[in-house]
Amino acid sequence: MGLRHDVDNVYGLRKGLPRMIEIEDRLDLRSTFFVRVDTIKSGEDERMLRRLVEDGWEVGLHLINTVGSPELPSPREELERLRRVSEINGVTPCGKTIGFKGEVTWRVMDSLDLRYMEGYGEPSIPVRTFVMPTHLSLDIYYVRRFGEKKGYSMFKVDLLKRLGEKGVATVLVHPEWFVRSVGGKGVTKLALTILGVKKLNEVYRTFLVEFKDQVRFMRYIDLHGVLSRNKV
C-alpha cells in the first residue's frame, strides 16, 4: 500500500507535516510527500525537506502547471526547483490553480521523464512513464463528507475491496488537516478546529495501526519498484 501526502500550502508544510512525520516515525513507517514548489518559501523550508529525505521519506512533485500554460513557470522549471531539495522520482497533479485536465495533464507529466506519475484513472493515450494506481482520499472524501467514524468505516470497506480485487492500493492524506479541521468553512471551520472535530490525527493513526500487520506500507518509489517488476 502506497502512502501519499500532498503539500498544498505553507501551513501544511510547516505545521501539519511535522505532526504526520511524528505519527509515522513512531510506527517505523515512511511515505511520500508531493510538494507544490510555491510552498517552499525559505531556506529553512528547504532544509526541513532535506532532513525529511535523509530520514527516509520521499519527496515528489505536486505539479501546479498541469497544462503547460505560458502564464506560469513551466513544469520543467517546477521540477528543477524541487530538485534543489531532493532527487525527484514521481509527479502528481495538484487540484488547485488549474487542476487535472485529462490527456493534456498526462502528456505534461509524461514529458518530465520521471519514473512514475499518478493522476485519475488510466491515460487514454500512450505514455512512457509508469502510472500508479489512483488513490483513495481518506481526508477530503471520507472524513470531510461522513465524519471520523462513519467516514473511516466506509474508507475501510472501499480499501479492503480494492486490496482484494487489485492486491494494491494507494491512500492520500493532506498534512494541513492534522492541525485544522477538514470540515466546514470560515467560522465553522475555526470552531471545529478548536473542538478537534474532523481532524485527521487519530483517524490516520488508527488506520496505520489497524493495517500495519496486514499490508506493507510503502513510499511511492518503493511501490513503483514492486509494481513495475510484477507489471501490476
pLDDT > 80? residue 231 = no
Q: What is the pLDDT of residues 3-21, one digit of tens each?
A: 999 999 999 999 999 999 9
User: Domains of the chain, with CATH numbers?
Assistant: 2-230 (3.20.20.370)
Q: What is the pLDDT of residues 140-185, one digit of tens each?
A: 999 999 999 999 999 999 999 999 999 999 999 999 999 998 888 8
Write down the pLDDT at residue 196.
Answer: 86
- Residue 59's nearest CA partner among 88, 94, 30 is 88
The DSSP output letter for 178 is G
Q: What is the pLDDT of residues 34-75, one digit of tens each?
A: 999 999 999 999 999 999 999 999 999 999 999 999 999 999
Write down the pLDDT at residue 35.
Answer: 98
pLDDT > 80? residue 121 = yes
Write down the pLDDT at residue 229.
Answer: 84
Write down the pLDDT at residue 49.
Answer: 97
- Do 65 and 72 contact (CB within 8 A), yes or no? yes
The DSSP output letter for 143 is I
